Amino acid sequence: MSSATPSFPERVELTAEGLVLRAWTEADLAAMPALFDHPDIAYWTPIVSPFDDEAARTRLDRARQLHAEGTALQLAITVDGGAPLGEVMLKRAPEGTELGYAIGPAHRGRGLAVRAVRVMAAYAFDHLGVDQVILELEAENAASVAVATSAGFRLLDVPLIKGEEKGRPYVLQTWGLDRS
């Protein structure tokens, strides 16, 4: 992060669209494996698999480090500030301000990802002054493409991102949402 990039506030809690997005806490460690140790999350995201108690500790520590550095925000998705249902992430990168998310399998189908992405995008626009946020998705990930379109993102005419993660090749499309 350059010295010109402002840091994140020490405490970030976003309340909108029937959600409370808040920092992960020590009390959340026990819930994290049930949210992230799932074949869909292992396949479509870079989140480590299997996701056990040690992975939860590592993820919490890394989230705190990235927040302190001003590089990324990883917030628990809740409806009331209590039990986490998933995660939404905002990452500052040279290619832009990227959002990401993962919803625990028991909590899908409630519009949590769409609402969390919209809330985080509004935070990026209103508090960080960015003009566009992006999502990088595999075209075959129908659920994530549905989230992108429902949240108002459009497919951008930019080169595909090709790589390999966990021994699996991937091709990512870039979707963008502009400040309105």
Amino acid identity of residue 37, one-letter, is: D
What pLDDT does residue 6 have?
A: 63
Residue (of 63, 61, 57, 53) closest to 100 by Cα position: 63
What pLDDT does residue 3 have?
A: 45
Count Cα neighbours of 18 within 13 Å in the Cβ-side half-sphere.
6
The DSSP bridge pattern shows strands 132-138 and 96-103 to be: parallel
- Residues in Cβ contact with 119 at an 8 Å cutoff, skipping those fewer than 6 apart: 14, 16, 17, 19, 21, 88
Instruction: Quickly list H helices, the chain.
Output: 32-36, 39-44, 53-69, 112-128, 142-150
What pLDDT does residue 60 have?
A: 98
What pLDDT does residue 157 have?
A: 97
Per-residue pLDDT for the chain (180 aa), expressed as one digit of tens each? Answer: 444 556 799 999 999 999 999 999 999 999 999 999 999 999 999 999 999 999 999 999 999 999 999 999 999 999 999 999 999 999 998 878 999 999 999 999 999 999 999 999 999 999 999 999 999 999 999 999 999 999 999 999 999 999 999 999 999 999 999 998
